[in-house]
């Protein structure tokens, strides 16, 4: 008799975005004349850079000609793209060999699949509040999970404590909290991981939003991280590739557990289960690293960051505690008057027709907090800020 993976029975249903959609739909039906503005958008909205579109078109043309047609892509990604990624790291004085770079269709898939090269006996440490992928993928595997508190005391940057963990998920700049680890803080995590022989799974999906040069964009800027960390990066937020799909993961050769090279294991895993990423898409991703392509991507990021600044400035003016809004597209605010996350959601929707995301949906420590995002248009962000200023 075939048995299912019963761990799936332990997954908690997330009703967060469904519940938001239901409430917004009911509100619109009752007030068809009012304009609802969403500051809850978790996806990029600006179109791909011109330079990227040109590269996608040119690569499509190549695929249509016998002389330039290409079949299966190399498992780890084309050298032309991995060389650009390696140079991108070099700008931060980080040495990453192209053999340590794995191109894939998304950071979410890599974050979800990476658990395959780890034992089920490992204890996993996950920050609370959290991006739900880290948690669900480990529940599916049946691993023991412990939580690292992110809260007002540590400005929503969880730090290590006395407890032992084998695998640690960190996300900086953080989704949902918008907070960014300093170099000194990441040094503490690396020190902890080396002492405990644990591995840090570092989600750097938002590294391109960091404008403060003192803040680390890569865990590999920290000495010793090559022996205890895996880094996940993506073109999704860097270059608007959420619908185009391209990402990369870095595992250094120095990362060895009980004689097993995790890099070699990941080579084996990917070559067994992945047939590479589309040539066309990898040419598009390569164009992100041209001078013109990068400038166009940075202009888009600047646009989102300026939106974030408008929201953050209002909260500062009103004396409302928040993290993010700087070096991040997210703003994580304390709900005024001790309101609970959903109470504040209802108040905002009913009194201002502005939608955000209740923090309680991201974990226990999110109760009493609320996530706003900067992925909307400038016009809508300005209007939303004006409306919010009347009720805060």
268's tokens: 């084996």
**Least distance from C-beta 32 to ligand PLP, angstroms?**
33
| Residues of span 238-297 touching ligand PLP by CB under 6 A | 242, 247
| Interface pick for ligand PLP out of 38, 86, 172, 175 (rule CB under 6 A) | 175
Give the β-pairing of 330-334 and 229-234: unpaired
Residue at token pair 């959903």: 342
171 binds ligand PLP (CB under 6 A): yes
Query: In whole angstroms, what is the distance from residue 256 CA to residue 197 CA?
Result: 10
* Binding letters toward ligand PLP, positions 107-146, x by CB under 6 A: xx----------------------x---------------
Greatest alpha-carbon span in the chain: 67
Q: Is 32 helix (H, G, I), strand (E, B) or coil?
A: coil
Residue whose CB is less far from ligand PLP, 135 or 247: 247
342's tokens: 């959903």
R_g over Cα of the chain = 21
236 binds ligand PLP (CB under 6 A): yes
Contact range with ligand PLP by CB under 6 A, out of 78-86, 118-126, 232-240, 266-274: 232-240
333 binds ligand PLP (CB under 6 A): no
Query: In whole angstroms, what is the distance from residue 330 CA to residue 372 CA?
Result: 6
What single-letter DSSP state applies at residue 298? H
Give per-residue burial for 103-122: e unless 16+ CB within 10 Å, then b.
bbbbbbbbbbbbbebbeeeb
**Least distance from C-beta 227 to ligand PLP, angstroms?**
23
Query: In whole angstroms, what is the distance from residue 220 CA to residue 92 CA?
Result: 9
Query: How many other CB atoms are there within 10 angstroms of residue 244's CB atom?
Result: 18
**Least distance from C-beta 71 to ligand PLP, angstroms?**
25
Number of chain positions touching ligand PLP (CB under 6 A): 13
Position with the least CB separation from ligand PLP: 106
302's tokens: 């600047």
Residue whose CB is less far from ligand PLP, 48 or 107: 107
Contact range with ligand PLP by CB under 6 A, out of 77-85, 194-202, 230-238, 361-369: 230-238
Residue whose CB is less far from ligand PLP, 277 or 349: 277
156 binds ligand PLP (CB under 6 A): no
157 binds ligand PLP (CB under 6 A): no
**Least distance from C-beta 236 to ligand PLP, angstroms?**
3
**Least distance from C-beta 319 to ligand PLP, angstroms?**
29
What single-letter DSSP state applies at residue 84? H
357 binds ligand PLP (CB under 6 A): no
* Binding letters toward ligand PLP, positions 59-98, x by CB under 6 A: ----------------------------------------
Residue whose CB is less far from ligand PLP, 314 or 372: 372
CB 351 within 8 A of CB 391: yes
E strands, the chain, are 37-38, 101-104, 123-128, 144-149, 167-171, 199-203, 229-234, 247-251, 256-257, 260-261, 322-324, 330-334, 354-355, 357-358, 369-373
Chain residues binding ligand PLP by CB under 6 A are 106-108, 131, 171, 175, 203, 205, 234, 236-237, 242, 247
């Amino acid at each position: 008799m075939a048995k299912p993976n019963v761990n799936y029975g332990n997954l908690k249903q997330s009703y967060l975005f469904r519940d938001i959609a239901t409430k917004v739909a009911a509100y619109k039906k009752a007030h068809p004349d009012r304009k609802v503005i969403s500051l809850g958008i978790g996806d990029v909205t600006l179109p791909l850079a011109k330079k990227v579109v040109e590269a996608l078109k040119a690569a499509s043309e190549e695929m249509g000609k016998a002389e330039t047609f290409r079949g299966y892509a190399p498992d780890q990604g084309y050298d032309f793209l991995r060389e650009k990624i390696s140079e991108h790291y070099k700008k931060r004085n980080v040495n990453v060999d192209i053999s340590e770079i794995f191109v894939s269709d998304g950071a979410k898939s890599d974050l979800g699949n990476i658990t395959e090269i780890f034992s089920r006996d490992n204890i996993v440490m996950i920050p609370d509040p959290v991006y739900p992928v880290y948690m669900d993928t480990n529940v599916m595997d049946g691993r023991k999970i412990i939580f690292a508190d992110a809260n007002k005391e540590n400005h929503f940057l969880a730090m290590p404590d006395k407890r032992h963990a084998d695998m640690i998920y960190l996300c900086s700049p953080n989704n949902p909290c918008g907070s960014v680890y300093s170099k000194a803080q990441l040094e503490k995590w690396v020190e902890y991981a080396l002492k405990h022989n644990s591995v840090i799974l570092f989600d750097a999906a938002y590294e391109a939003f960091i404008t403060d040069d003192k803040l680390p964009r890569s865990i590999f800027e920290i000495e010793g991280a090559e022996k205890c960390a895996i880094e996940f990066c993506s073109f999704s937020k860097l270059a608007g590739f959420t619908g185009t799909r391209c990402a990369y993961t870095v595992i250094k050769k120095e990362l060895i557990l009980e004689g097993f090279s995790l890099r070699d294991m990941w080579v084996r895993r990917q070559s067994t289960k992945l047939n590479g990423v589309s040539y066309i898409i990898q040419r598009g991703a390569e164009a992100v690293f041209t001078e013109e392509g990068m400038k166009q991507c940075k202009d888009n990021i600047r646009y989102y960051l300026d939106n974030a600044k408008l929201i953050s400035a209002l909260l500062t003016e009103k004396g409302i505690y928040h993290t993010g809004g700087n070096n991040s597209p997210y703003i994580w605010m304390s709900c005024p008057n001790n309101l609970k996350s959903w109470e504040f959601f209802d108040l905002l929707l009913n009194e201002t027709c502005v939608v955000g995301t209740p923090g309680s949906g991201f974990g226990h420590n999110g109760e009493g907090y609320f996530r706003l995002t900067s992925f909307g248009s400038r016009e809508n962000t300005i209007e939303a800020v004006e409306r919010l200023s009347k009720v805060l």
